[in-house]
Amino acid sequence: MKRSAAAAAAVCAAFMLAGCNDITSAAPAETTAVSEASQTAAAVTEAQDTNYPVFAGSLEFTQAPRSIVSLSPAVTEMLYAVGGDKRLVAVGKYCDHPPEATELPQAGSPANPDISTIIAMSPELLISESPIAKKDMTDLSDAGIRVLVLSSPETVTALEGEYRMLSALVSGNDTASDAASAAMKEYYDAVGDISSSAGTFLLVMDDNYSVATGDTLAGSVMSAFGDNAALAYTNYSMPEEDIFSSDPDTVFLSSDVDPALFKEDFAELGAVKNGRIIIIDTTMFERPTARLSGLVRDIDEKLKDIPEETEVPTETNATEETEAFGTDAGEDGGYITGTVTAADAE
């Protein structure tokens, strides 16, 4: 009887020891699992810290805004290009590209935003590329709506930077550069395919003879075709006497300019005499996006169609012609430089 009790006690001791061993061996596994979970959480936190915060203008974002109203056509188009369209809840009345943007509710324009509609929607962010009236800004701020007013880009590099900033805003910093590069690819491809040259040129923007100066996006884009005679000037302003003295090889006229009036006022320009006047649609400069690629390709084709300059001297003295030809050709040399086109030949 005593022997049986002793045996039972031994068995119990063995089970207890085994139980202790099981508990002891399980502890490291549980600790390891907790440690791995902590490391994963730390990695996620680190990734989030890399992606955000994002700084846009004077605003700081610790996460992507869940709802956005864009009043500017260019901003709307860029948001679609970088995947931000899923966050758009309304757009401006002039936002018509891509076509699906027109299916969203309208919220007015930067000059006349529909404040009541915007406040009712309560978006986390309103974006505009044009100034918004102070009273409207106050009403939006009082409603808890953050407002981001962007400056219109003045260079191609700044345009790509705007894509990058908007991409970072909606998706975080990590993928912003790649998204901006992908969005701008069609533009850079078009520039890379340019096969014509304008030589020295001017782009005249309106009937007041404002020109695309070196501090403008239009000047930056057009520089792909040659040397901008207005490069050193600013704010679309170049004195008429300087336009004459620069005597560009080619003049691009915005479709807003009356070509007949320009040719009359600047009849002495070589570009006018030689028929090197090209009319282009400059509306894309008013809502700049990577679709400027279409304008670049159009200009390249039009440059190919310009007739070659043909000199038509009225005298035959080759020595005098050579000496006189230049910026003052035709004044002292007694002959004229003209252009022969297919129409002239007929």
Same domain assignment for residues 178 and 279:
no
What are the tens digits of pLDDT across the range 166-184? 999 999 999 999 999 999 9
What are the tens digits of pLDDT across the range 56-67? 989 999 999 999
Give the CA distances from residue 1 to residues 66, 177, 269, in Å, rounded to whole numbers and listed in that order: 79, 85, 129
Nearest CA to 274 out of 226, 310, 315, 229 is that of 310
271 falls within a domain: yes
Same domain assignment for residues 286 and 260:
yes
Strand 226-228 and strand 199-204: the pairing is parallel
What are the tens digits of pLDDT across the range 264-285? 999 999 999 999 999 999 999 9
Which residues on adjacent β-strands are paired with residue 254?
280
234 falls within a domain: yes
Same domain assignment for residues 118 and 227:
no
46 falls within a domain: no
pLDDT interval class at 36 (50, 70, 90) = low
Check: CB of residue 339 under 8 Å from CB of residue 307.
Answer: yes
Same domain assignment for residues 73 and 125:
yes
Q: Packing angle between helix 156-171 and helix 176-192, nearest 10 degrees?
A: 150
Q: How many CA atoms lie within 13 A of 72 on its CB side?
A: 21
275 falls within a domain: yes
Q: Assess whether pLDDT exceeds 50 at residue 90.
A: yes
Same domain assignment for residues 168 and 201:
no
117 falls within a domain: yes
Same domain assignment for residues 143 and 259:
no
261 falls within a domain: yes
Same domain assignment for residues 173 and 203:
no
Same domain assignment for residues 210 and 250:
yes
Residue with tokens 């701020």: 141
Q: Assess whether pLDDT exceeds 80 at residue 335.
A: no
38 falls within a domain: no
277 falls within a domain: yes
Which pLDDT value is given to residue 50?
A: 82
Same domain assignment for residues 102 and 175:
yes
Residues 6+ positions from 215 with CB-CB distance below 8 Å = 154, 234, 235
User: What is the rounded CA–CA span in Å between residue 184 and residue 166?
Assistant: 13
What does the DSSP 8-state code read for residue 93? T
Last-in-domain residue among 168, 189, 210: 189
Phi, psi of 218 (to 5 degrees): -60, -45
Q: Assess whether pLDDT exceeds 90 at residue 233.
A: yes
CATH code of 72's domain:
3.40.50.1980
3-state secondary structure of 197: coil
What are the tens digits of pLDDT across the range 114-127? 999 999 999 999 99
Check: CB of residue 97 under 8 Å from CB of residue 73.
Answer: yes
The domain total for the chain is: 3
Which pLDDT value is given to residue 49?
A: 62
With b for 16 or more beta-carbon neighbours within 10 A and e for fewer, the 230-245 pattern comes to beebeebebeeeebee
Task: Supply the pTM of this predicted model.
Answer: 0.75
Last-in-domain residue among 170, 189, 208: 189
Residues 6+ positions from 15 with CB-CB distance below 8 Å = none
Give the residue numbers spanning the domain of 326.
309-346
Structure tokens at 30: 């549980």
Same domain assignment for residues 200 and 293:
yes
Same domain assignment for residues 134 and 233:
no
Last-in-domain residue among 189, 204, 236: 189
Taking all residues of the chain, what is their mean pLDDT, rounded to a whole number? 83
Q: Assess whether pLDDT exceeds 50 at residue 14.
A: no
Same domain assignment for residues 65 and 179:
yes
Structure tokens at 210: 């404002």
Q: What is the CA radius of gyration of the chain?
A: 34
